[in-house]
Amino acid sequence: MFSHKVSFSQNTRINEKNTIGWYNYFGTFKLSKHWGIHTEYQWRRTYLITSWQQSLLRLGVNYQLDTKVQLRVGYGWIETFPYSSTPINVFGKDFTEHRVYQMVTLTDKVGIVGFSHRFMLEQRWIGKYSDASLTKEDSYIYSNRIRYMFRTQVPLKGQNIGDKTPYTAIYDELFIGFGKNVNANIFDQNRLGILLGYQFNKNFKLEGGYLNQIVMLGRKINNNTNNVVQYNSGIILNAMFNFDLSKSN
């Protein structure tokens, strides 16, 4: 990873660049026609793999309203580490975040092109240090965030993504903060992914490719005059498991 900053006096913005690598597990366990369990862990690194960026564990309960609409509620535990020239935490410390979230995913298909819209609402409790000498957060700030992701995918063989099928996918996700603790910026971040994937069978598929993440820090630096924007880019690898336990029921 490299990290450097460039300041533009005309807009008081400092740009920082980092190289990242995200390595992710997603597991879905179908319990019945409508109900299921979602499990997820994301191992987010800088210098591609050698140093921490973030650790994210997310759990959820799915409700399949119909073949095209899925609802989910769940909890996330996130640990964010100091990285980049300007760390997210003002004291340069790692901090814990607890989230509760609600999500709606709409899927459809036109010809060979599949696409989805994902809407997520998050309630966040972000760890805060009142003093640089502390080794653990002593309070939490409550914040709200809404997310929207659009994803489209196309099989590279045949008309559908089935067993032993390669495919390509692209997605973009926008994050917007709101509420009284939104701090300096409403825009939180944006993520763009360009992926190649392979579905081995109905239980497992693997995809990887390019990830671009733009993050705007929620605080200003240099006497509250400069916004800091991170331009993080690198690789992403997703391993996705799907198990149908409803048959045994």
Express as a percent the part of the chain with pLDDT over 90: 87
**The pLDDT of residue 224:** 85
pTM, two decimal places: 0.92
Dist CA 229 CA 240 (whole Å): 31
Reply yes or no on whether the pLDDT at 1 is more than 90: no
Q: Return d(Cα 213, Cα 207) in angstroms, integer.
A: 18
Domains, the chain: 5-244 (2.40.160)
Q: Each residue of 14-43: pLDDT tens digit?
A: 999 999 999 999 999 999 999 999 999 999
Q: What is the mean pLDDT of the chain?
A: 93
What is the model's pLDDT at position 248?
61
Per residue in 89-136, pLDDT tens?
A: 999 999 999 999 999 999 999 999 999 999 999 999 999 999 999 999
For residue 223, CA distances in Å to 86, 219, 226 come to 14, 11, 8
pLDDT at residue 247 in the model: 76
Give the model confidence (pLDDT) of 135-172 as tens digits. Answer: 999 999 999 999 999 999 999 999 999 999 999 999 99
- Residue matched to tokens 């998050």: 122
Closest by CA to 155, choosing from 137, 173, 163, 167, is: 167
CA of residue 146 relative to chain centroid, distance: 12
Residue 9 has pLDDT above 50, yes or no: no
